[in-house]
Chain A
Amino acid sequence: MNRPLHLQKVLYRHPGLARLAVVVALFLLWEISARWWIDPSFLSPPSRVVASFGELFETPGIPKALQITFWELAVAFAISVAAGLPIGLAVGLSRFSNRSLMPIILLLYGTPQVTILPLFILYFGIGPPSKIAFGVSHGIFPIIVTIVAGVQNIKPILMTAAHSMGASRWQIFRWVIFPHMIPTFFAGMRLGMTGVLLGVLLAELYVSSAGIGYFTQLFTQAFDPTKLLGLVSVLAAMAIVMNEIVRRAEVHFGRWRTD
């Protein structure tokens, strides 16, 4: 009699179960529609995508292309952080540079850069450098903007306290400003990662001679959705792993907030 009520309670207590149920339902819908309703040259069922992973990796050029794209992502991300952190600090810590430069940064951040993608190809060629540059141009702004915000909302009393105990400028940076902005810095890095992924993949799809962009176009034009979706799954996995690494580090360094 009260079984449905019981099930409701169990689901309510474990949101993870409900989440899992939604994911399973979506995959089922995908599987069923791909098998019976949709033209196989447009969509292939997830079971077949998974089954053909082996075949995908044996396709000549694919492992190399994945390697190149992963490398482009990593380099673009590293440059975004390495340049975004000092720029964010310089802009955030000085009232003058904040007021003079911040509007420019916000303007650039808000501009849809995809319109100038052809210029990136023109300047950097069709190889990896243009992908990296376009990735950086997407990844660096969220990092700068979050760091600027992060160094600004620091409690003045903490600066006064450090000052009263004789802290030097460097010590104030090392022990007050830096730990204060660590959580925002990680949040910025995650946003930056999303930006880098978007930038690199957009540039890859636009024109590509070596990365996975070339193959996604090839598979689409050859009506081979199995391999296309396989490739997309690998990319998604890459994005999830990178995001999770940063998220774990964020939780670790932000212990003092939640504990």
Chain B
Amino acid sequence: MTAGDAAIRIRDVSHEFGEPGDAQFVLALSHTSLDIERGELLCLIGPSGCGKSTLLNMIGGLLTPTTGNVEVHGKPVRAPLPRDIAFVFQENALFPWCTIIENVKLGMVFQGVPKSEQEPRARKALEAVGLKDFMGHYPAQLSGGMRQRAALARALSLETGTLLMDEPFGALDEQTRMILGEDLSVLLSRSEKTIVFVTHSLGEAVFLADRVAVFSARPGRIKEIIEIDEPHPRSPSFVTTEKFSRLRNTLYGLLHDEIRKAVEQSATAVPQP
């Protein structure tokens, strides 16, 4: 891979919360570099507080790195780039006062899509995620899984080259999560999007990703990158293969010590009297 191929270039990026010396000071992410290829699905996995969401927010321009820089399609990221990057958040980020289709259209209003294109694009995106019959419903009337489908439709309708997903299925139950993961794999194999996906779930990472970046405990760094060499879309039976278990076990081995470290950190982080 040549340097020009990278859709997202991350160079020597760190992020600190608070001022050094402060009681609240946290070095969330430390001097991280990474290239993400065009059309690749990269999963970020690691213990809580290792800076994976922080990195995602810096790629999306929602946070400014303390050191280093991020480029998306050759453009330095200093603020959100709504034409290049769309987000799907963990929490329900739909506007409760808008119906599902209004929510999808509102994203395009913000992005500056001409009015005549909004309706057909919104319908197409909602059909793609299987919410054709729920366009007129309010978010409160839908289940958590359906709400995340709607949030995904909103992001897809923006037709950005890059999609950033911050534990999009984190708040859902195991079964809903599995189905959404399968559907996502089918949906994304048809698109040329570059995707960065934060998750806590080892299985989800192996099932969805082309590469998995494993983070160390705080201060977060990329410990290792695992290739998942399996074509998309992945069939549900991939989960039962020996290859899947082997990759999952490798990830588990890499993560286990880091998770222990993170737990010990949070135990000692209790303020001294």
Residues of A within 8 A of B (CB): 155, 157-158, 160-167, 171, 175-176, 179-180, 182, 255-257, 259
B32 CB to nearest A CB, Å: 21
Residues of B within 8 A of A (CB): 60-62, 80, 82-83, 85-87, 89, 91-93, 95-98, 106-107, 109-112, 138, 140-141, 158
A178 CB to nearest B CB, Å: 9
- A160-B107 in contact (CB<8A): no
Q: Is the interface of B mostly helix, strand, loop or mixed?
A: loop
Taking CB atoms, residues of chain B closer than 8 Å to A256 are 96-98, 138, 140
- B141-A166 in contact (CB<8A): no
B140 CB to nearest A CB, Å: 7
Could you write out 25 A-B pairs with CB less than 8 Å apart?
A: A155-B91, A157-B89, A157-B92, A157-B93, A160-B89, A161-B87, A161-B89, A163-B62, A163-B80, A164-B80, A165-B80, A165-B82, A166-B82, A166-B112, A167-B110, A171-B109, A171-B110, A176-B95, A182-B97, A255-B138, A256-B96, A256-B97, A256-B140, A259-B140, A259-B141
In the complex, the chain A residue whose C-beta lies closest to that of B137 is A259
In the complex, the chain A residue whose C-beta lies closest to that of B160 is A165
- A158-B93 in contact (CB<8A): yes
Taking CB atoms, residues of chain A closer than 8 Å to B109 are 171, 175
Taking CB atoms, residues of chain B closer than 8 Å to A158 are 93, 95
- A166-B110 in contact (CB<8A): yes
A164 vs B166: C-alpha distance in the bound complex, in angstroms? 13
- A165-B158 in contact (CB<8A): yes
A167 vs B107: C-alpha distance in the bound complex, in angstroms? 8
A161 vs B91: C-alpha distance in the bound complex, in angstroms? 10
Report which of B62, B95, B98, B158 forms a contact with A160, defined as CB distance below 8 A. Answer: B62
B136 CB to nearest A CB, Å: 11
A180 vs B92: C-alpha distance in the bound complex, in angstroms? 15
In the complex, the chain B residue whose C-beta lies closest to that of A259 is B138
A142 vs B91: C-alpha distance in the bound complex, in angstroms? 33
Report which of B83, B91, B97 forms a contact with A166, defined as CB distance below 8 A. Answer: B83
Taking CB atoms, residues of chain B closer than 8 Å to A160 are 62, 89, 93
A149 CB to nearest B CB, Å: 18
A167 vs B92: C-alpha distance in the bound complex, in angstroms? 18
- B138-A165 in contact (CB<8A): no
B77 CB to nearest A CB, Å: 12
A175 vs B98: C-alpha distance in the bound complex, in angstroms? 9
Taking CB atoms, residues of chain A closer than 8 Å to B87 are 161, 164-165
A135 vs B109: C-alpha distance in the bound complex, in angstroms? 41
Taking CB atoms, residues of chain A closer than 8 Å to B111 are 165-166
Taking CB atoms, residues of chain A closer than 8 Å to B95 are 158, 175-176, 179
In the complex, the chain B residue whose C-beta lies closest to that of A161 is B93
- A-B contacts besides A158-B95, A165-B107, 13 pairs, CB < 8 Å: A161-B93, A164-B80, A164-B82, A165-B82, A165-B158, A166-B80, A171-B109, A175-B95, A175-B110, A176-B95, A182-B97, A256-B138, A256-B140
A220 vs B167: C-alpha distance in the bound complex, in angstroms? 71
A176 vs B95: C-alpha distance in the bound complex, in angstroms? 7
- A164-B60 in contact (CB<8A): yes
B217 CB to nearest A CB, Å: 26
A255 vs B137: C-alpha distance in the bound complex, in angstroms? 11
B134 CB to nearest A CB, Å: 13
A84 CB to nearest B CB, Å: 22
Taking CB atoms, residues of chain B closer than 8 Å to A180 are 97
Answer whether A257 and B96 are a contact pair too, CB < 8 Å, given A171-B110, A175-B106.
Answer: yes
A176 vs B140: C-alpha distance in the bound complex, in angstroms? 16
In the complex, the chain B residue whose C-beta lies closest to that of A254 is B97
